[in-house]
Amino acid sequence: MKKNLTARSVIIVVTMLICVFGIIDFPKSGAELVNNFNKNIRLGLDLKGGSHLLLEIQVQQAVKADADQTAERLKEELRKQNISWASMDTSDVATVADADNVTLTIKGVPATQSSAFRSMVGERYPNYILTALNSTDYTMKLKPSDLLDLKSDTVKRAVDTIGNRIDQLGLAEKSVQQYGAAGSKYEVLVQLPGVDDPARARELIGTAAVLEICDVKEGPFQSREAALAQKGGILPLGTRLVKMKPRGTGEGEQWFLVGKTPVITGREMRNARAGQDEFRKWETNFNLSQDGGRRFGRFTEANIGNRLAVVLDNQIVSVATIQSKIEDSGRITGLGSEEEAVDLSRYLRSGSLPAGVQYLEERSIGPSLGADSIHQGIIAGIAGLVAVIVVMLVYYKRSGVNAVLALALNTVILLAAVSYFHAVLTLPGIAGIILTIGMAVDSNVLIFERIREELRTGKSVIAAVDTGFSKAWWTIVDTHVTTVVSCAFLFLFGEGPVKGFAVTLVIGLIANVFTAVFVSKTIFDYELSHTRQLQELSI
Amino acid sequence: MELFKNTNYDFLGKKWPFIIASLVLTVAGFASIAMQGGLRMGIDFKGGALMTAKFAYPPPLDKIRAAFAKSGKIKGDVSVQDFRDPQAKNEVEIGTELVEEKQLNLNRQAMEEVLAATFGQPGSNKLDFSNASEPALADRLRDALGRANVPMSEQQLHKLAQDILNYRDTPPRSGIITDFTQLSSVPGMNSAIINTLQQECYLAPYHVLQTQMVGPKVGAELRNKAVYATLYALGGMLVYIAFRFEWIYGLGAVIACFHDTLITIGLFSLFHEEISMTVIAALLTLVGYSMNDTIVIFDRIRENLKFSRREPLESVMNRAVNQTLSRTIMTSGLTFLTVIALFIWGGPVLHSFSFALVCGIIVGTYSSVFIASPIVLFWHNYTDKRPKTAPAGATVRRGEQATPKAPAKAAK
């Protein structure tokens, strides 16, 4: 009786091959094998070394900045409409919780002008709620929905900006993402594998990105040396050399001589967006603040035909020619493509961090600790594995071989799953693999003990094996389900290393149901099908 | 080879000594916790800043303590201690206490500065090689190599720096080299480069392995998560078992798991071990594992009850335990072997984790026999005894149930 032996064997072999492929692809050499292995099995921060930083975006600063700006504009409006007032204040903020309480207080509006005041505010500032304290004093607060939008927008922009800045570290793998329930938490998680110098990472994140518009004196030059050579080795007073941000590959460097003091900075810019002009050429439009606008107007008026450069974090992102006086809104033209325009508008918008950050948690692990941990984990794993194999072979004789094969396949499936799911292997994850070895063997023990019992009651070998497997089945399911339930909660509530542990243990146990039952049974059946009358089973 | 063929020990008859032993252990654990004013919490739950550094020689703890006390840069207590794990040679752990986030960040930076000031060469212009990162090393070497007339492209420079640091960080050096000439086996190395290194860098006697900072917000969150995870896991299992068996079995199993957790925590206190998030992971795994054991026995009890309605529950249970004894010992033994391997060789980072597993497996195994089953036994004996002493008005239905209630429900 073949009992679909061929079909089952094929399934097992195919599974094995798929798993092995998942772990090491098709290596053509020993070195490639190691390479592929390292590529497919991703190591967590605690094994590879790296930094894990949890920041809280101080959204209250953005809300206050918005209130401050509104106050400025309101003052202008009141002046225009000849409405007098005594004082205007915005509340102070310290912690994130203060964001919800930012209030703009206007005092001393004459009662006679109150209706004009109210209608003006209602018209111009629809996203604020105006409340009267008494006949002359008022408070303004952002509407809840607008407040929520502002806060989440701030966090998104911060994530963008931080991501941009971290890019400068040139890491292959990194992650910057929003963390925690959006709307109630303003946290950003930054993970930098391989960066064990968190001071550098903090520096980059924390720097207020400097966005400046400077006037271009001369350029482009092919290199810094060429520029210096042309100027006779010394730069003129009040100038500096800045490099153009390299775009794509194959382009040479470009350096420009620009004014040291910027004409306007990012602080004065608002609302940049990409657009097309009347000739369908790409440009970036932006608005300026009052103050910035005035300054820029004076500068552009005096410099029509000259060029200006947009400098972000000490690199030029674009050079444009001044076409006319620009006062409160302007356009940067001469951009090559939509991508350039969109990029530039993104820089203008997110060039500077919209609010400060505070560090809530930081863990940096040097690569030496990671290397040590891997080393120790492997030794412990091998020791445990050898001990288990020896005991199984001694106690269950030839059937022990069966169990060891199932165990080997289990480990292979486990590693393959880690590779295919792009799960991350952490140190507790390795411990999880070691623990899986112990627990996986449990299923085999259950089955073998049952088979022994059935043999003792005098059943034939084939019947004993069959009954052993079927009786043990539900117990195996029960025991695995409880541990999986436990790990499911660990996965939900845990972070990083603990999550890694839960993942490897769960995958190991699920794989175990397959290997301990299906594979073991197939091996037994294969053995039994080869002999006519098996009087004794080596177990 | 078979160790436990057809045994017939009276496990449930001898339950009292073990129950008493459990109680004693539990009380001892609580007493220890009370006397020490709480459990030793790791940084996950306690918060604060922690720096682990490896020295080239046994770290001078007193000197380090004095340096921190004198510097005055750090607000609050600074604790300096070495590791008890034999694999953590010459390693020291420096911790500051929990303060609010801004100050905590300052403290953390101050820790690095004080170490550098005490053991490094802050005055010299040289780069601290033992704690350099790849970009810093590459930056430093770029101009220096140029001046020493060693031709090197940018790509080669970065690869060299990376290779040097890889060599430094792999065991057995693990971050500390004692002499630059040790680097001669790094690919691409030559004597000119080694000379340059000697000129530009110095070897600080310590190498920072890791730094951690957990602010009060995150600490509170992690504590909550630990508690929730444990409660939900226990709850989930109670539901599953009550679903597969009778509810009293579920309760017995959960009480046994709870007992395991309490005793393990007590042992943590008795042995001065630290509780961190990974330890919670170990505890939850233990809960799952202890459940396994208990379920195997309960399964057998249920199966046996199907065929022996007249036998008293105690003897049915005994038989079940004896029948599964072989499996229990084997499984516990094998899992214990793997966990002991972890404890001995797994390294200092996993130390508390493997300690929890080692204790837990021992406790978990005996709790299935001596705690879980007796609870079910007690309950059934109690509920079955009552009809015998009930007044005459007792219902006939109750009186009929002279045998354990289990069979009716076990046939699910």
User: Mind listing the pLDDT tens digit for each residue in B145-165?
Assistant: 878 887 778 888 888 888 888
CA torsion through residues B246, B249, B255, B261, sign: negative
**Is residue B385 one of the residues assigned to a domain?**
yes
Q: How far is B273 from chain A (nearest CA, A)?
A: 18
What number is the average pLDDT over the span B28-57? 85
Q: Are residues B68 and B171 in the same domain?
A: no
CB B305 within 8 A of CB B323: no
pLDDT value, residue B334: 87
Using CB atoms within 10 A of its CB, is residue B41 exposed (0-12), middle (13-18) or buried (19+)? middle
pLDDT at A346 over 70: no
Q: Are residues B293 and B335 in the same domain?
A: yes
Confidence of residue B358 (pLDDT cuts 50, 70, 90): very high
Among candidate residues B190, B214, B238, the one where a domain is terminated:
B214
pLDDT at B406 over 70: no
pLDDT value, residue A2: 53
Confidence of residue B278 (pLDDT cuts 50, 70, 90): confident
Among candidate residues B159, B184, B204, the one where a domain is terminated:
B204
Tokens linked to B373: 């089953």
pLDDT value, residue B4: 65
Which has the closest alpha carbon to B258: B364, B376, B339, B331? B364
pLDDT value, residue B391: 39
Q: Quick check: B168 and A505 CB within 8 A? A: no
Q: Number of structural domains, chain B? A: 3
The verdict on ipTM greater than 0.95 is: no
**Per-residue model confidence as pLDDT tens digits over B168-226:** 888 788 888 888 888 888 888 888 888 888 888 888 888 888 888 888 888 888 888 88
Q: How far is A476 from chain B (nearest CA, A)?
A: 9
CB B317 within 8 A of CB B245: no
Q: Domain of B68: which CATH number?
A: 3.30.70
pLDDT value, residue B408: 42
Percentage of chain B beyond pLDDT 70 is 91
Alpha carbons A205 and A208: distance in angstroms, whole number: 8
pLDDT value, residue A51: 87
Identify from B98, B257, B285, B297 which residue to disrupt to test chain A contact, counting A C-beta atoms within 10 A and taking the largest count. B285
Q: Are residues B32 and B177 in the same domain?
A: no
Q: Are residues B264 and B140 in the same domain?
A: no
Using CB atoms within 10 A of its CB, is residue A311 exposed (0-12), middle (13-18) or buried (19+)? buried
Alpha carbons A340 and A343: distance in angstroms, whole number: 5
pLDDT at A172 over 50: yes
**Is residue B165 one of the residues assigned to a domain?**
yes
Domain covering A5-49+366-530: architecture? Up-down Bundle (1.20)
Specify the DSSP class assigned to residue A311: E
CA distances from A388 to A39, A130, A447 (A): 30, 74, 17
Tokens linked to A336: 């090559």
SS3 B214: strand
Residue at token pair 């292997």? A425
- Interface subset of B 330-369, CB within 8 angstroms of A: 330-331, 333-339, 341-342, 344-347, 349-350, 353-354, 357
For helices B15-35 and B247-270, give the axis angle rounded to 10 degrees: 50
Confidence of residue B332 (pLDDT cuts 50, 70, 90): confident
Q: How far is B53 from chain A (nearest CA, A)?
A: 10
- Closest-CA residue in chain B for A488? B233
Which residues in chain A touch residue B102, judged by CB atoms under 8 angstroms apart? Answer: 358
pLDDT value, residue A182: 59
Sorted by sequence, the CB contacts under 8 Å of residue B201 that are 6+ apart come out as B126, B127, B128, B129, B132, B137, B140, B180
pLDDT value, residue A352: 61
Q: How far is A362 from chain B (nearest CA, A)?
A: 5
SS3 A332: strand
Q: Are residues B187 and B248 in the same domain?
A: no
Check: CATH 3.40.50.300 for A211-333? no
**Is residue B138 one of the residues assigned to a domain?**
yes
Q: Where in chain A is the domain with CATH 1.20.1640.10?
A: 5-49+366-530
**Residue A114 — φ and ψ, nearest 5°?**
-60, -40
Fold of A67-144: 3.30.1240
Range of the domain at B86: 48-120+210-214
Q: Where in chain A is the domain with CATH 3.30.1240?
A: 67-144
**Is residue B266 one of the residues assigned to a domain?**
yes
Q: Residue A539 is which amino acid? A: I
pLDDT at B389 over 50: no
Q: Are residues B159 and B249 in the same domain?
A: no
Q: Quick check: B213 and A391 CB within 8 A? A: no
pLDDT at A164 over 50: yes
- Interface subset of B 40-59, CB within 8 angstroms of A: 52, 54
